[in-house]
Structure 1
Amino acid sequence: MNIENEKGRYTPSDDDIYLVENIIKNSIEKANVDLLNQGEGCPIIHKRLKKYTRQYFGFENTKGEKIIYVNFVWKDKKDERLSKDIVIVKDGCSYYWSIKVNISQAILYDLQINGRA
């Protein structure tokens, strides 16, 4: 996980998570216009948001903006590491994906959807 111009980490508050979820809900379809690694047996992520478990990691950049890295794991693919570690899975198509949310600017960026094996 790479956060550009990272100044430091912080634990996101409940208010931060609420903002992140609203930004994602309102912006993910536009960010997901290419539908990379989706369809043909893999979920369309913006249509199935409720089916994912999330991991949130908070950062502050050198401008003092709050950035939340959100890792999405399909609920049926639960992983014991979710509460302890960053879950990194290779392949798995859109059952695993991540995005960064700048909550200071209310924007999404760096959408990463796993490939297909």
Structure 2
Amino acid sequence: MFSNIIIGQSINLIEGKKFRGAIFPSSYKNTSYNWLEDKNRFTPTKEEILLFEKKLHDKLKLINKSRLNQKGKCPVIHNNLQKYIRQYLGFIDESGKKYLMINFLWSRSSLHENPKEEYYNELGDWKKNWQVWFDGCSHFWNVKYYLESETLFDLQVNGSS
């Protein structure tokens, strides 16, 4: 079961049994990030997102063997997927292959936002603006996913200062 809600800039919200996120359209612009102006973009469909989410845990566990920045108070990402809010962007590489770029933003329960949470204020606009974090260890990370080959790649887990 999932729900789909449309808000500013045609950003679609999607919610499944164990996740929720924002699907950013190919037309999404953010003056802070020039790389978002890439001409080779597409808007992911809810079906593409649902297929990705279905495969995520097992595929992530395989590429997350080193558990970079996932010790102590920094959670092991593949064991805590339900605690992350997602943001989805669609890109097309030089060879014409479609891939998703997915941001994962820590929220103890991504299905029930709590204004008292440590990161709540910063995440307040996750439904409207692509988030970029420079610290926070595994509370903030992203990965890319080729749709056709169902391959996860370029796992980036934030460091901590």
Match of 1:12 in 2: 44
Unaligned 5+ runs, structure 2: 1-32, 109-118
Aligned to 2:90: 58
For residue 94 of structure 1, the aligned residue among 138, 141, 144 is 138
Structure number with higher relative contact order (C-alpha < 8 Å, ≥ 6 residues apart): 1
1:15-38 deviation per Cα after TM superposition (whole angstroms, max 9, x unaligned): 110121123222101110001000
Q: 1:52 to 1:30 in 2, by over 3 A?
A: same
Identity value in percent: 36
Q: Return the index of the structure with the highest Cα Rg.
A: 2
Name segments (4+ residues, structure 1) moved above 3 Å.
none
Q: Scaled by the length of structure 2, what TM-score is found?
A: 0.66
How many Å apart are 1:7 and its aligned residue? 6.0
2:29 maps to 1:29? no
SS of the equivalent of 1:81 reads: coil
Instruction: Give the TM-score normalised by structure 1.
Output: 0.89
CA contact (8 A) 1:37 1:113 kept: yes
Deviation for aligned residue 1:57:
0.2
Aligned length: 115
Partners of 2:57 and 2:70 lie apart in 1 by 18
2-side partners of 1:61 and 1:37: how far apart?
28
What letter is aligned with 1:98? N
